């Protein structure tokens, strides 16, 4: 059976995904049902049609137009159609149960239509560096950087000189040291504060150092902790409760970079007056990441690791930093607990508003900078 083909690779609990031969998922079906590829495709077509009928019926009954039969048929037909394509990766995953995953490795394919239109404008706060964005997205045209939306007097980026989440430096002592930074910053930043870590492993490390308890005891602020695997509704309720605390003394939200709360949420006004970024979110070398690096290396020689591994991590960090400034009038501090942000090869990927306000700090100097930046607002 399908599970038996890869159970040896999935036996190690640290492995969440493995690349598979795309045709192999159908071997057992062909053997048991005694059908060929054409017959299976006809069955999948019928599943898609049944799904359409189910959705239409649900719409008429004012129900969500959802059909699992139709969705499975659509997915497997697409899986069939993409076999042999070098810009796709076929995975078996158990991150969210036992599942199949189809990964597109070339984002430029989604923008193929641009070549057939007269002009297009792309705008984002995380396109830096523009040349890399143009390469990866397959865009030809003029590149222009506009004045930053964040006013210099409203932003400060403080980078701790003595901590990092580099693998060989992680320990309980490190997390205790980082917890001190977080607790002091939570006390000095008015109202709501976001703390986003490089991974759930780092978040768990901070919790093992009792950072949540220390924050509550030192600042009196309620602590909200993002959990992986929860539904969108549960997470939305968590974020709503966190934002509501901005009307009082404030709260602290603990989450991860690259997650829905560090990229997909807007925090206006006092809903997030400062953010603490713990580490740089470089991905684990999973089959998915390795495939992306190989693909980009073939397409852009000597740039594969940068485009497929390094730059995505830097963009996640910038996205999380941007939660503080949602308009040109909002004021907020960004504190990065990783000295690697001071390295030139990392710093060059930051937007101007971060590069122009960056300052290396120790715990003591961070406190002085925050007091001066917020003009004693929290200390009255």
Tens digit of pLDDT for each residue in 32-89?
Answer: 888 898 999 999 999 999 999 999 999 999 999 999 999 999 999 999 999 999 999 9
* pLDDT confidence of residue 96: 65
The answer to whether 337 and 180 have CB atoms below 8 angstroms apart is: no
Q: 333 vs 60, 82, 126, 259, CA distance in Å?
A: 51, 46, 18, 20
Do residue 87 and residue 112 come from a single domain?
A: no
358 lies in some domain: yes
Do residue 92 and residue 129 come from a single domain?
A: no
Tens digits of per-residue pLDDT, 297-348? 999 999 999 999 999 999 999 999 988 887 777 889 999 999 999 999 999 9
142 lies in some domain: no
Number of domains in the chain: 3
Do residue 95 and residue 26 come from a single domain?
A: yes
Tens digits of per-residue pLDDT, 12-39? 445 678 999 999 989 988 888 888 989 9
Do residue 85 and residue 23 come from a single domain?
A: yes
116 lies in some domain: yes
Tens digits of per-residue pLDDT, 230-287? 888 999 999 999 999 999 999 999 999 998 899 878 898 899 999 999 999 999 999 9
Distance of CA 276 to the CA centre of its chain: 16
* pLDDT confidence of residue 114: 81
Q: What are phi and psi of 73, to 5 degrees?
A: -60, -45
Sign, CA torsion 209/211/212/217: positive
Domain of residue 96, CATH code: 1.10.275.40
Do residue 87 and residue 119 come from a single domain?
A: no
* pLDDT confidence of residue 165: 95
Do residue 98 and residue 114 come from a single domain?
A: no
Domain of residue 319, CATH code: 3.40.50.300
Do residue 250 and residue 368 come from a single domain?
A: yes
* pLDDT confidence of residue 142: 79
156: which strand partners? Answer: 333
Residue-range definition of the domain harbouring residue 238? 152-379
pLDDT of 376 above 70: no
Compute the distance between CA of residue 66 and CA of residue 52 in angstroms, rounded to an integer: 9
Binned at pLDDT 50, 70 and 90, residue 378 comes out as very low
Neighbours of 130 (CB within 10 A): 14
146 lies in some domain: no
Q: Mean pLDDT for the chain?
A: 89
Do residue 199 and residue 328 come from a single domain?
A: yes
Compute the distance between CA of residue 178 and CA of residue 162 in angstroms, rounded to an integer: 10
What is the mean predicted confidence (pLDDT) over 84-111?
Answer: 89
Compute the distance between CA of residue 133 and CA of residue 125 in angstroms, rounded to an integer: 12
Residue by residue, DSSP assigns 133-151 as HHHHHT--S---PPPPSS-
* pLDDT confidence of residue 10: 44
Do residue 227 and residue 297 come from a single domain?
A: yes
Do residue 72 and residue 186 come from a single domain?
A: no
Binned at pLDDT 50, 70 and 90, residue 154 comes out as confident
193 lies in some domain: yes
Do residue 131 and residue 167 come from a single domain?
A: no
Exposure string (b/e) for 2-20, b if CB count within 10 Å is 16 or more? beebbeeebeeeeebbbbb
> Higher pLDDT residue, 253 or 2?
253
Neighbours of 135 (CB within 10 A): 16
241 lies in some domain: yes
Do residue 57 and residue 125 come from a single domain?
A: no
Q: Which token pair is 312?
A: 């995505």
pLDDT of 11 above 50: no
pLDDT of 4 above 70: no
* pLDDT confidence of residue 150: 77
Name the pTM for this structure: 0.86
143 lies in some domain: no
144 lies in some domain: no
* pLDDT confidence of residue 9: 42
Binned at pLDDT 50, 70 and 90, residue 6 comes out as very low
């Amino acid at each position: 059976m399908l599970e038996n083909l890869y159970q040896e690779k999935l036996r190690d609990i640290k492995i969440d995904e493995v690349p598979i031969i795309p045709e192999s998922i159908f071997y057992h079906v062909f053997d048991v049902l005694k059908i060929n590829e054409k017959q299976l495709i006809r069955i999948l077509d019928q599943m898609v049609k049944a799904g359409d009928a189910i959705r239409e019926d649900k719409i008429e009954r004012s129900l969500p137009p959802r059909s699992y039969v139709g969705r499975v048929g659509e997915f497997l037909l697409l899986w069939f159609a993409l076999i042999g394509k070098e810009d796709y990766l076929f995975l078996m995953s158990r991150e969210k149960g036992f599942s199949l995953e189809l990964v597109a490795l070339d984002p430029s394919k989604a923008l193929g239509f641009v070549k057939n239109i007269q002009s297009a404008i792309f705008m984002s706060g995380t396109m830096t560096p523009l040349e890399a964005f143009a390469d990866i997205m397959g865009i030809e045209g003029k590149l222009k950087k506009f004045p930053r939306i964040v006013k210099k007097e409203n932003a400060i980026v403080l980078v701790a000189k003595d901590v990092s989440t580099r693998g060989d430096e992680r320990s309980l002592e490190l997390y205790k040291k980082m917890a001190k930074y977080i607790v002091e910053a939570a006390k000095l930043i008015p109202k709501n504060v976001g703390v986003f870590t490089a991974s759930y492993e780092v978040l768990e490390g901070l919790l093992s150092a009792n950072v949540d308890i220390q924050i509550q005891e030192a600042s009196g602020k309620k602590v909200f902790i993002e959990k992986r695997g929860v539904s969108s509704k549960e997470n939305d309720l968590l974020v709503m409760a966190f934002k509501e605390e901005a009307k009082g003394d404030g709260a602290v939200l603990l989450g991860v970079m690259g997650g829905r709360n560090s990229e997909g949420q807007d925090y206006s006004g006092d809903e997030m007056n400062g953010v603490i970024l713990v580490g740089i979110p470089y991905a684990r070398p999973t089959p998915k990441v390795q495939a992306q690096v190989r693909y980009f290396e073939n397409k852009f020689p000597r740039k594969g690791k940068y485009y497929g591994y390094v730059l995505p991590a830097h963009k996640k960090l910038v996205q999380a930093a941007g939660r503080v400034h949602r308009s040109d009038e909002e004021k907020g501090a960004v504190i990065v607990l990783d000295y690697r942000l001071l390295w030139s090869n990392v710093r060059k990927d930051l937007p101007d508003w971060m590069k122009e306000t960056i300052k290396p700090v120790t715990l003591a100097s961070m406190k002085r900078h925050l007091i001066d930046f917020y003009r004693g607002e929290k200390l009255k």
